[in-house]
Amino acid sequence: MVVEMVKKNVWIKRISTKSLKSQFNAIIDLLNKKNTPYYVDCGALLGIVRDGDLLPWDNDTDLAINSEDLGILESAVKDIKNLGWRCEFERFSEECDFATTKDIRVLKISDTWLGFFRGPTRMDIFLLYPMDNYRCWSAAKRYMRVDRKYFDGHEIIKWNGRKLRAPKHYRDYLTQKYGDWSVTVKNWSCKGELTIFDAEKTVVGPALVDQSHKT
């Protein structure tokens, strides 16, 4: 499959569904070509499974990869950069039950704004760390975990002429994250994700935010 080339050097900080999908397609094509063991995750997985497409109100997409496959992801970063995207690894800001401040939390892939500065983040690739019978990760200063069975292997979802890697039992996995994911929640925040079990020390208030307003 020919890797799709898209515009990454933006002059206005603007995100469109078309540009987001183009970037998602280009990176998926690259990772598939390199046999990178990624997983489509979060809103991208939800939209594709429930609605047959990326969520039109999302301003980024999410993938995940097991931490022991970090070296494979690092080898793909050069190729992602060659497509014109800016890539930055972020580490954990504090020690936690499953990772240290030396460990990579996420790879952020973004546009280049005005040719020099980091533009809007378009994709996050989260690292999943083992802890007992769980896979754990961090987002929005929260710590999440699910049964590791979802990431011991993968399933294939066909979408947009492509084969996407998804967690095993991905419908059950979505229920673990979102509860009744058949209900559309446009103003959803990952601070309300049902997989949250703790938060960074700087978080004031509950780790899991009540998110009952649905539209």
**What type of residue is 111?**
D
Look up the CATH architecture of domain 9-199.
2-Layer Sandwich (3.30)
Dihedral pair phi/psi, residue 120, rounded to 5°: -60, 140
| CA-atom Rg of the chain in angstroms | 17
According to the per-residue pLDDT averaged within each range, which of 13-22, 29-38, 116-125 is highest?
Answer: 29-38
> Can you give the residue ranges of every domain in the chain?
9-199
At residue 10 the predicted structure's pLDDT band, cuts being 50, 70 and 90, is very low
pTM over cut 0.85: yes
pLDDT at 100 over 70: yes
Provide the pLDDT for residue 212: 66
DSSP for 138-199?
EETTEEEEEEGGGGSSEEEEEETTEEEEEETTHHHHHHHHHSSTTS--TT--GGG-TTEEEE
Dihedral pair phi/psi, residue 206, rounded to 5°: -65, 145
At residue 116 the predicted structure's pLDDT band, cuts being 50, 70 and 90, is low
Helix axes 170-178, 42-50, angle to 10 degrees: 120
Residue 62: which residues within 8 A CB-CB, separation 6 or more?
Answer: 40, 41, 42, 43, 44, 45, 123, 124, 125, 126
DSSP-derived letter for residue 95 is -
Asked which of 40-49, 68-77, 205-214 is least confident by mean pLDDT, the reply is 205-214
Cα 45 to Cα 39: distance, rounded to the nearest angstrom: 9
pLDDT in tens, 68-93: 999 999 999 999 999 889 999 999 99
